[in-house]
Amino acid sequence: MGKPSFQDEKKLVRDYYARLDAASPDGMKSAQAQYVATDYLWRGFHPFHEIRCAEGVVDQFWTPLKTALSHMQRRMDVFMAGQNTIEDQGGVWVVSMGHLMGLFDQPWLGIPPTGKMAMLRYCEFHKVEAGKITETAMFFDIPHLMMQAGLDPFPPQTAAHLVQPGPMTHDGLMFEAQDPGEGRKTLAAIDHMVSDIKTWRGGVEEPLVDELRRSWNEDMIWWGPAGIGATYTIERYAQQHSGPFRAGLTDRSFNGHICRIVEGQFGGFFGWPNLTLTPAGGFMGMPATNTPGDMRVIDIYRRDGDKLTENWIFIDLLHFWNMQGIDILARTTNIAAGQETGARGAAP
Report pLDDT digits (tens) over 319-334: 999 999 999 999 999 8
User: Domain residues for 188?
Assistant: 180-334
Q: For the segment 136-185, what is each residue's pLDDT rounded down to a tens digit?
A: 999 999 999 999 999 999 999 999 999 999 999 999 999 999 999 999 99
Q: Which residues of 285-309 are buried (b: 16+ CB within 10 A; e: fewer)?
A: ebeebeebbbbbbbbbbbbbeebbb
Write out the E strands in 224-258: 230-232, 249-254
Q: Which residues of 235-269 are buried (b: 16+ CB within 10 A; e: fewer)?
A: ebbbbbbbebbbebbeebeeeebbbbbbbbbbbbb
Residue 47 has pLDDT above 80, yes or no: yes
Confirm if 147 and 121 have CB atoms less than 8 A apart. no
- Within a domain: residue 193? yes
144 and 236 co-located in one domain: no
Q: For the segment 186-202, what is each residue's pLDDT rounded down to a tens digit?
A: 999 999 999 888 555 55
225 and 126 co-located in one domain: no
The domain boundary residue, chosen from 148, 171, 198: 148
102 and 184 co-located in one domain: no
Question: Helices then strands (H, E): number in the chain?
Answer: 11, 15
- Within a domain: residue 225? yes
The domain spanning residue 311 has which CATH number?
3.10.450.50
- Within a domain: residue 120? yes
- Within a domain: residue 316? yes
Provide the domain count of the chain. Answer: 2
The predicted model scores a pTM of 0.94
- Within a domain: residue 170? no
- Within a domain: residue 156? no
- Within a domain: residue 166? no
130 and 214 co-located in one domain: no
143 and 184 co-located in one domain: no
132 and 84 co-located in one domain: yes
Confirm if 138 and 102 have CB atoms less than 8 A apart. no
